[in-house]
Amino acid sequence: MADSSERPVGVFDSGVGGLSVVREIQARLPGERLLYLADSAHCPYGARSRQELIELTRGITRWLLSQGAKLVVVACNTASVAALGALRSTFDVPFVGIVPAVKPAALATRTRRIGILATPVTFQMEMFNDLVRNFAADVEVCRQVCPGLVELAERGIVAGPEVEEPLRRYLEPLLTAGVDTIVLGCTHYPFFRPVIERLAGPEVTVIDTGDAIARQVERVLGGQRLLRRDGCGELLLATTGDVVRFATVASHLLGATPNEVVPVDLDADTPAPHRPTRRGGDAVTLPDSGDLTP
Ligand code: DGL
């Protein structure tokens, strides 16, 4: 492709979570072509080892680059804190990663107590603990893992009793501790935001990093003269897992039905063609988004 700005922005996550970041990028940069890969075959990432995450995310990045990605967004807190350094030292492409919004929360809190919802791996990694040390040393940081939430989002269930029951349990210790700011430190969690806000009450501010990531994508692309300002943006979806399942849940969460979702085998020698929508054969045409019954 002669004009590099025409190339897609590659975005990936363990599954549907990164679509919460895609929404923000689409809102800020409507002209960009986005290529989203969900590593559904290996979801969840939240309890994997750093080495596994480095290997998985290297494979994903290789695939995104084979499709012409001009920038790679690691739309996953877990993968970013575990593997971003390794990815940056392996590949010659700009990366934008995502980390829990510890700094904005520490600046915003009045009670001097903040809550972070994230995966076990995110809390273990030094990148997260450095954030706390550097930006929230004078603030009480309540860490809360949320087992099962990622799996619910992967099934497209983001409201109702199945969601409220665990969320009440996860929020209770934070609210008892008196936090007034809660950080959504996993990209799957913004899909639960309305429920979290309702359960936490009006005194609590919920912070999500999606918009900040979109602004960073804009800054990095702008700095490299890679912004695609004209033309109509598009979203191409791909998954390493079950295409029909991913397609159904993605269309439900995005509130729009993409044309098709392409299956990706990261172990295959030959990468899929650059334009997944032209692949024909294996791609799956989606059911209407209204068909999803949680
Ligand atoms: N969405 C991811 C994150 O931001 C990972 C969730 C998972 O696969 O455990 O951390």
d(C-alpha 196, C-alpha 181), whole Å: 12
Domains identified in the chain and CATH numbers: 4-98+212-291 (3.40.50.1860), 102-208 (3.40.50.1860)
Dump pLDDT digits (tens) for 152-192.
999 999 999 999 999 999 999 999 999 999 999 999 999 99
Kindly give the distance from the C-alpha atom of residue 47 to the centroid of ligand 1, in angstroms, as a whole number: 9
Q: Please give the angle made by the CA atoms of 229, 233 and 238, to the nearest 5 degrees.
A: 135
Residue 231 pLDDT grade (very low, low, confident, very high; cuts 50, 70, 90): confident
- Beta strands, E only, 146-293: 181-184, 205-207, 234-239, 260-263, 284-285
Whether pLDDT at 71 is above 50: yes
- What is the CB < 6 Å shell around ligand 1? 13-14, 17, 43-46, 76-78, 119, 122, 150, 186-188
Kindly give the distance from the C-alpha atom of residue 171 to the centroid of ligand 1, in angstroms, as a whole number: 18
Residue 145 pLDDT grade (very low, low, confident, very high; cuts 50, 70, 90): very high
Selected residue with higher pLDDT from 267 and 122: 122
d(C-alpha 230, C-alpha 6), whole Å: 10
Taking residues 105-123, what's their average pLDDT?
Answer: 98
Joined together, the tokens standing for residue 136 give 């929230």
Q: What are the residue numbers of the active site?
A: 76, 186
